[in-house]
Amino acid sequence: MKEILYLEVPTPQTTTVCQWLQHQFEPGIGEKTITPDGFVVKFSAQNTEEISVFVWSLQRTTYLKVFVTGNISSIAKSFTQNLTHSIRKEFPLNYPEPPTIDLSNQSIFSALASDYPLTVKYFQKMPQGEYDLKRLYWWEKRWREGVKNPQKPKQVIWKKPVKSNDNSLEYDLIYVGGALGVIHAAVMARLGYKVLLLERLPFGKMNREWNISRSELQSLINLGLFTSVEVENLIAREYRDGFNKFFDANNPDFAKAKVLHTPTVLNVALDSEKLLHLCGIKLQEAGGKILDETEFIKTEIEPEKVVVSARNLPSGAEQIFCGRLLVDAMGTASPIAWQLNGGRAFDSVCPTVGAVIDGGFETGVWDSNYGDVLNSHGDISRGRQLIWELFPGAGNELTIYLFHYHQVHPENPGSLLEMYEDFFSILPEYRRCDLDNLVWKKPTFGYIPGHFSIKGSDRKVAFDRLVCIGDAASLQSPLVFTGFGSLVRNLPRLTELLDTALKYDLLNADNLNKIRAYQSNIAITWLFSKGMMAPTGKFLPPQKINSILNTFFGLLAEEPLEVADTFIKDRASWFTFTRLALVAARKNPYLLLWILDFINFKEILLWTTSYINFTLFTLVSWLLGWLPSFTRRIQPWLESHYPGLWFWLLANSYALTYNVGQPQAEFKLKKSMAFSANQKTREIVK
């Protein structure tokens, strides 16, 4: 038998598809005989040649294959064309939206039960399930509003050219968003700045867990934020090895791959809530203030201060705060990010769902000495390549995520609720379990954004007296890192630049836009990300994305461990990237042709421009490799005489190293630095 067709029918109603094939589809040739999972077309009693069609269910969708026996190629081609056309017409791609609900007379469980029955069932088993499901619905609604109306974002930044006489200056820094925000806020408070943190949720509430490696975690120690003992107390689990493997049963032989081992990638699971609370303590000990359950409304930018309007959610009372600088750490829910960048606030996103499970798996299902960094157990499902992550936590805990790389599209923003229905449906396919026996501790969900930068200045991360960090700054890392990983890796750079800008009141948009975690060595990898997301409205061969992923990860599996470690941690050099790209193209000659299914000619030109920029920047970095050390030597004189020039030189010095994956020696907190900033604050108030 020979396989002549493999396609996905984007519906979980496999029985409906089978019945349609058996009773409504007309093959137009031979004699149709119904089988349990499809039908067979026979041409005569004496002829052994036949066409066999069958369907099966996996990943909450339907797959179909056609096999032939004998030499009937011309007939088979006509048959498969007819079948494909008919089935696409009968079962088109569908992108359902959550229902509009009214919670004034019903619970969130009742409102969503008919559309998302499994999601409602298992959220009810979680300690704060009702609150978390409301939060999930709110986040998806906020995200959809931004994606569907990108050209007309809600205006939340207002510029006032004339300063007002009211509202005295209370703070140096006002942070909005308390997850990544509190880490950065604690650092700045320990430098001596007066800091206010506003958080919409109860402080310390997290809908994600964080994993990192020891080498990256060390930067928080070197910076002076945590001691070694404190870091050890934040580690919930450190596992021995992490696996990366994508489903390849339907891949051609040259696109199959062995398991990629990454023992030092995301192998340290942190207790995220403990980390946030510790940062909160350090922030408050340094004189900072935290106001939780307080929602950002808008900000007015004046020449010498920023005025922030917020609402206390329990009371509904509006509050006004004044500071020198506003820091946006609200992530993808940030209306500030949408206003600053309009139609290109985010180019891609990973809708991510999952849960922390505190036991209930049978013995032998998983060894907690190991993690699943990236794993797929099937091909494209309803326009998405679903990918799993599994990270052992404290005790019996396992944190499991399901996500996919997604093109931001107004007709298909990406749904967390649909993903959760998938998660609860197919978790037993991924790891053997009985969902009703699992101990559900809490859900983990969010939209992880990406922006396909061509150069360091093509995304706005700042306005006068306002700067974005973390996911609100949307720095694209193509594989496993979110805003947390990017923030930690770039925290010394961001801290020193922001400290310098505050010391000398260099708080206009041009200066603040230089305070970003952009890296040209990862900007070029957006092409890799594009190869992981199915374009909206387009049918692809189901195995296509797994074939691309296995080509590249199979290549990394054949390299020394440090090569994969360097690449996945965003430290790949121009030479490493170029060598790996050429080897991948030689290993899989179809790779470039496959990628054309995901990108257009304009995007090819944009990526070529990005690669040329990276090449030129690498050359400049090599030629000016002496500049960072020279910059440090002239700092005492240059900073005191020409602070603006010093800031510009410092920003470019960091760019020369970080942008090519070679961070500088780490900046350390020095409280003496804060004296100038506080003195400057007092001068402004006067």
Distance CA 348, CA 451 (A): 6
Structure tokens at 635: 């700092």
Least confident of 145-149, 231-235, 408-412: 145-149
The count of other CB atoms within 10 Å of the CB of residue 651 is 20
| pLDDT classification of 572: cutoffs 50, 70, 90 | confident
| pLDDT classification of 668: cutoffs 50, 70, 90 | low
Please count the CA atoms within 13 angstroms of the CA of 466 that sit on its side-chain side.
Answer: 30
| pLDDT classification of 333: cutoffs 50, 70, 90 | confident
Least confident of 382-391, 459-468, 652-661, 671-680: 671-680
Answer yes or no: is pLDDT of 631 > 60. yes
Report pLDDT digits (tens) over 182-207. Answer: 999 999 999 999 999 999 989 988 77
Coil vs helix vs strand at 640: helix
Report pLDDT digits (tens) over 118-174. Answer: 999 999 999 999 999 999 999 999 999 888 877 677 899 999 888 776 667 789 999
Report pLDDT digits (tens) over 442-499. Answer: 999 999 887 777 776 777 889 999 999 888 776 655 554 566 877 888 888 899 999 9
- Is 52 in contact with 38 (CB distance < 8 Å)? yes
Distance CA 499, CA 668 (A): 12
Q: Domain residue spans in the chain? A: 2-90, 115-152+344-450
Distance CA 313, CA 199 (A): 10
pLDDT of residue 482: 61
Distance CA 247, CA 424 (A): 20
Distance CA 226, CA 159 (A): 38
Distance CA 419, CA 435 (A): 16
Report pLDDT digits (tens) over 39-74. Answer: 999 876 666 788 999 999 999 999 999 999 877 777
Distance CA 294, CA 297 (A): 9
pLDDT of residue 684: 35
Answer yes or no: is pLDDT of 679 > 60. no
The answer to whether domain 2-90 has CATH 3.40.50.1820 is no
Report pLDDT digits (tens) over 598-628. Answer: 888 888 888 888 889 889 989 999 999 899 9
User: Which runs of E-coded beta strand occur in 397-548?
Assistant: 397-403, 406-407, 440-443, 446-450, 462-463, 466-468
Q: Is the dihedral of CA 197, 668, 632, 664 positive or negative?
A: negative
| pLDDT classification of 664: cutoffs 50, 70, 90 | low
Size of the chain in residues = 686
Residues 138-146: contacts with CB within 8 Å, 24+ apart? Answer: 139/333, 139/416, 139/445, 139/446, 139/447, 140/98, 140/415, 140/416, 140/417, 141/98, 142/333, 143/332, 143/333, 143/349, 143/413, 143/414, 143/447, 144/97, 144/413, 146/332, 146/335, 146/338, 146/345
pLDDT of residue 681: 39
Structure tokens at 47: 């002829």
Answer yes or no: is pLDDT of 17 > 90. yes
pLDDT of residue 153: 77
pLDDT above 90 covers a percentage of the chain that reads: 64
